[in-house]
Chain A
Amino acid sequence: MSGLQVQAEERAGTQPGGTGGSGSRLSVRPAILSVRGLTYGFSRAEPLFAGLDFDVREGEFVSFVMPSGMGKTTLFRLLAGLLAPQAGTIAVGEERAAAAEASRLGHIGYMPQRDSLLPWRTVLDNAALGLELRGTPKREARHRALELLPVFGLEGTERKHPHELSGGMRQRVSFLRATLGGGKLLLLDEPFSALDAMTRAGMQEWLLQIWERHRKTILFITHDVDEALLLSDRVLAASASPVSAFSEIAVDLPRPRDCGAVLEERFIRMKRELLRLLGRETRGSGGDRR
């Protein structure tokens, strides 16, 4: 743990502007995802998104917090290329013009809300699936997955099948699969919501460590305000449907962070602000209501 921290601090120190808050450091990076005028709704239902704009910069950790049923999963399916916007564009990476949906398929790591592991495949073969689908020879794909198993806390489980794993382990396999399969952009749809509080706290710290080492761009969906603030550089929130703009909170807590950060005053201030944006007041938030 402490070794990792030192490593991460050293790395941060060598970067230009690394001493500033994460927000200022990241603002100079190019956008890796740029969404313009996104409009989408299922037929015979209220539209979910109407003219939505937002950007995500390379290496950023961005959380989306919205009430249930407002379209978080749908947004990810749009980004991954599984659904086509009814209007607007989604551009990933260098491409100037937004390319067709099909061109995004296979270029974004996607971890769905349910772990969606293939029950008939072993842990190793599940993890290697993304590489395999992109044409990596099976042997090499397995080899690369095997190398990463210890990092994901899955050492020794390579021959097991998903039904033999705990919930947390299944989530990690699913996360490993997304990491190995996609490009620079990782979409994580409520990866920890099915876990109990203890396991979840452990997984959050673990995700922070992994991310601080690899610095992929992560888009993260959660219902949990603490989780969003603890993990992210920015939190995008919305509370009214259809979503035409996100309210944004830049999280300027220093990294590396751990679960203790939730007790800091700055954190609590941001949390109050985020809950206000979501239209939820906290009972503990004090005298201004009573």
Chain B
Amino acid sequence: MMRKASAALPAGTFILLIAALWEAGTMLLGIPHYIIPKLSDVFVSMWDNRQTLAGHFAVTLGEALLGLGLSVALGTLAAVWIEGSRLARKTLYPLIVASQTIPIIALSPIMVLWFGYEVWSKVAVVILFTFFPIAVNTADGFRSADPEIGDLMRAMGARKRDLFLKWKLPSALPGFFTGLKMAATISVGGATLGEWLGGESGLGMYTKRASNMLRAEAVFSGVLLLSLMGILLFLAARLAERAVLSGRFPGEQGR
């Protein structure tokens, strides 16, 4: 615990410093409040609207988590398929990688077209953003499996199932978690974008509406909460990674 606390100290100090600069800067430089509101005003606005914000927070978090969960399922399946079938490796894998040259944002309105203004269009946008890192990192993880270990296991009589469960799968875990951490961070952005394209609730919708009404404090409180959500999701992914990998791989000693 002591070590954790002291590790968080530099980052915490830095955040406080930025907060102080923000507060002092807006006061001293006389920046108009509709450009950058005072940090204290943002917190006041956050507190005044706490019930509304909590509701929107939950909506956006739900969309992000739902999309993330589906991406984990679909991305892992795709990676297993790419690993298991030569054909998929030659067709699907390059396609997934190439698909990254398409600006995903440009595809997002199509999701609205297909899934409407309900929660599913947001979930679809989240999947659009998070599928790639999970699928590709997991597939690369499978491919990074040490062939000498595979040979050794075959020499010891391993069957296909053993090879997958005891060699390929554990080898892919670090790659999978790298993908998951990336996806966790992006998922909030995906959900926000989905809400911008049309929606009745969520922090993305809240900030956009506040922006239209030039309520800077509300915009900033929405943005701060979205950032917080991204950080929380990332930390959760990292916690899961630690729990699964700690002590098992060099450089993942945990603690």
Q: Is the CB of A120 within 8 A of B249?
A: yes
Q: How many angstroms from the CA of A195 to the CA of B146 in the assembled complex?
A: 22
Asked if A37 is at the interface (CB within 8 A of a chain B CB), the reply is no
B interface majority secondary structure: helix
Q: Which of A77, A114, A120, A134 contacts B156 (CB 8 A)?
A: A134
Residues of B within 8 A of A105 (CB): 154-157
Q: How many angstroms from the CA of A104 to the CA of B45 in the assembled complex?
A: 74
Asked if B77 is at the interface (CB within 8 A of a chain A CB), the reply is no
Residues of B within 8 A of A112 (CB): 148, 151-152
Asked if A119 is at the interface (CB within 8 A of a chain B CB), the reply is yes
Q: Is the CB of A77 within 8 A of B247?
A: no
Q: Is the CB of B156 within 8 A of A181?
A: yes
Q: How many angstroms from the CA of A116 to the CA of B154 in the assembled complex?
A: 13
Q: Is the CB of A134 within 8 A of B250?
A: no
Q: Is the CB of A120 within 8 A of B248?
A: yes
Residues of A within 8 A of B155 (CB): 80-82, 105-106, 108, 110
Residues of B within 8 A of A181 (CB): 156
A119/B249 contact (C-beta < 8 A), A82-B151, A110-B152, A112-B148 known:
yes
Q: Is the CB of A110 within 8 A of B156?
A: yes
Asked if B198 is at the interface (CB within 8 A of a chain A CB), the reply is no
Tally A residues with Cβ within 8 Å of B.
Answer: 24
Interface residue ranges of B136-187 to A (CB < 8 Å): 146, 148-149, 151-158, 162, 166-167, 170, 173
Residue of A nearest to B169 (CB): A120
Q: Is the CB of B156 within 8 A of A82?
A: no
Asked if A218 is at the interface (CB within 8 A of a chain B CB), the reply is no
A118 to chain B, nearest CB (A): 6
Q: How many angstroms from the CA of A106 to the CA of B156 in the assembled complex?
A: 4
Asked if A57 is at the interface (CB within 8 A of a chain B CB), the reply is no
Asked if A129 is at the interface (CB within 8 A of a chain B CB), the reply is yes
Q: Is the CB of A133 within 8 A of B157?
A: yes
Asked if A216 is at the interface (CB within 8 A of a chain B CB), the reply is no
Residues of A within 8 A of B152 (CB): 110, 112, 116
A129/B250 contact (C-beta < 8 A), A116-B146, A118-B170 known:
no
Asked if A182 is at the interface (CB within 8 A of a chain B CB), the reply is yes
Residues of A within 8 A of B156 (CB): 105-106, 110, 129-130, 133-134, 181-182
Q: How many angstroms from the CA of A107 to the CA of B155 in the assembled complex?
A: 8
A127 to chain B, nearest CB (A): 12
Q: Is the CB of B157 within 8 A of A161?
A: no
Q: Is the CB of A106 within 8 A of B157?
A: yes
Asked if A25 is at the interface (CB within 8 A of a chain B CB), the reply is no
Interface residue ranges of A94-147 to B (CB < 8 Å): 105-108, 110, 112, 114, 116, 118-121, 129-130, 133-134
A-B contact pairs, 6 of them (CB 8 A): A110-B156, A112-B152, A114-B148, A116-B152, A163-B249, A182-B156
* Chain B interface (Cβ < 8 Å from any Cβ of A): 146, 148-149, 151-158, 162, 166-167, 170, 173, 245, 247-250
